[in-house]
A and B are shown apart, each in its own frame.
Chain A
Amino acid sequence: MTAPADVVAAEWLKARSVRSAPYTAAVVVASVVLSALWVWNVATIADGRPPDDPVTAAASGVYLVMQIVPLAAGVLGVLTITSEYATGTVRATMAAASRGRILGAKAIVVAAAGAVAAVVSLPAASVLGRAIMGDRRVNGFGEPLSELLADGLAVVVAALLGLGLGALLRSTAAAVVAVASLLFVLPGVAGALPGPWGERVGAVLLPNLPAQVGGADDAVLPGAVALAVMVAYAVVAMAAGGLSLHRRDL
């Protein structure tokens, strides 16, 4: 069959030649700026407090980056496959190489895009945040390196999650809603669940996993398990999408 490397090169060309690429890049850069603004806000509040009553920041310094970039990555992953269905190009695409190779090539491209987004945004936001905060005492601010790395992985996972769900659902709207639900709605729902359920469900939701990988005090899962759950999101979504793509008529 058509060589995998050639299919990847073709998918990379496709990804570069539409508007969603520069738009996503702009969003990623904007997230760093917004994250710095949030840190500056917390720092300003801290300055207004007496020294024996420090502020507790409910999140790490890259908080806003992690609100925005995983969603952007997830949407990019969705669009990489659903735009083919929406524009009708899916048949021409699937006629050029095997479906598995094409989905695999798209996975490589979106994972790489996610990795680039993470590398561009997370270190910058982390360094900028620490610089802005200086040596003010703020509880809960700052993140261990392991958590930062897990944040980066979460962005890549989000991209693959989007691609897998997009392949499964074949609709941009449906897949974007699914991604947004996993990233934003379910964490809120988990918070409303009674008894220990809220904590249990919350512990396995993607946005809460990087902190657990980093060994946070209120972590429910051990770091290695949290890491495995993160990877499982991407693996399960891609497997479901791949199976659906393989079996269905186009």
Chain B
Amino acid sequence: MIEVRELTKRYGGTVALDGLSFTVEPGHVTGFLGPNGAGKSTTMNIALGLHTPTSGDVLLGGRRYTDLEQPLHEVGAMLDAAPAHPGRSALNHLRALARTHRIGRRRVEDLLEQVGLAGVARKKAGGYSLGMRQRLGIAAALLGDPPVLMLDEPVNGLDPDGVRWIRELMRAQAAEGRTVLVSSHLMSELELTADRLVIIGRGRLVADTTMRELAERYGGLERAYMTLTAQDDEYRAHPAGGRP
């Protein structure tokens, strides 16, 4: 379970998050949506102890990230297109991460097999395509077999087989009772994957509801999103020749 509690974050004069509160329950895939600049990345960074909130906090399984004894066994995260050192092989990248928690080589090799990188595991990550790097990031998130998964744009760069694979993976993890939070801009894919949705805008909660409710009320995820975030979209593009 992920509990975001009255989360506020100010960077100098800008308010990135403004008293944001919501809960992500285990057992279903929860989509995390919002316009660019809404605060999704900031929320996830604070959840993982990478940024310090101005006030409020995020609890993962009832505890703050920095209080977790074995964080990779509690939370698996894939942020920012999962970077790896270009001079290091996928195998060594995962082995180094695994070594902090005494996770063995067998687990690393099984994961590389599972994400489809077994054939290129010893090649340097600098030669990887975007899809391969994504798969490596997903492997890193799954490394500790955590009950909470936080994924930021996991579908980015994956081929159609990969897209379906990650969708089924997320649904399977949720069905096993895990908490799965996936941040994405891909409406069509999210419609197939997520059961619940949290939508934020300008650092505040806009909606916390089910996919079914949005479908009934608005007739689809994209329309629901556009309607709900109309006021909160700071960077909305306009078609050439004037306002929509």
Contact = CB atoms under 8 A, between A and B. Distances in A.
Interface stretch (B98-106, B161-169, B187-195, B203-211): B98-106
A58 interface: no
Interface in A74-100: 83, 87-89, 91-92, 94-98
Interface in B96-119: 96-97, 99-102
B219 interface: no
Contacts of B59: none
B4 interface: no
Nearest to B144: A96
A91 B77 CA distance: 10
Given A18-B85, A91-B50, A1 B69 contact: yes
A95 B49 contact: yes
Interface stretch (B32-40, B86-94, B227-235): B86-94
Interface in B69-94: 69-72, 77, 79-80, 82-89, 92
A249 B50 CA distance: 6
A40 B229 CA distance: 76
Interface residues of A, number: 26
B129 interface: no
Residue among B92, B99, B102 with max Cβ neighbours from chain A (10 Å): B99
Interface of B: 45, 48-52, 65-66, 69-72, 77, 79-80, 82-89, 92, 95-97, 99-102, 140
17 contacts: A2-B71, A2-B100, A3-B102, A13-B92, A14-B85, A87-B83, A87-B84, A88-B83, A89-B83, A94-B49, A94-B50, A95-B65, A95-B71, A95-B72, A249-B45, A249-B50, A249-B52
Interface of A: 1-3, 6-7, 9-11, 13-14, 17-19, 83, 87-89, 91-92, 94-98, 249-250
Considering the complex of A and B, which 7 residue pairs feature the smallest CB-CB distances, nearest first? A88-B83, A10-B99, A17-B92, A249-B51, A250-B50, A10-B100, A18-B87
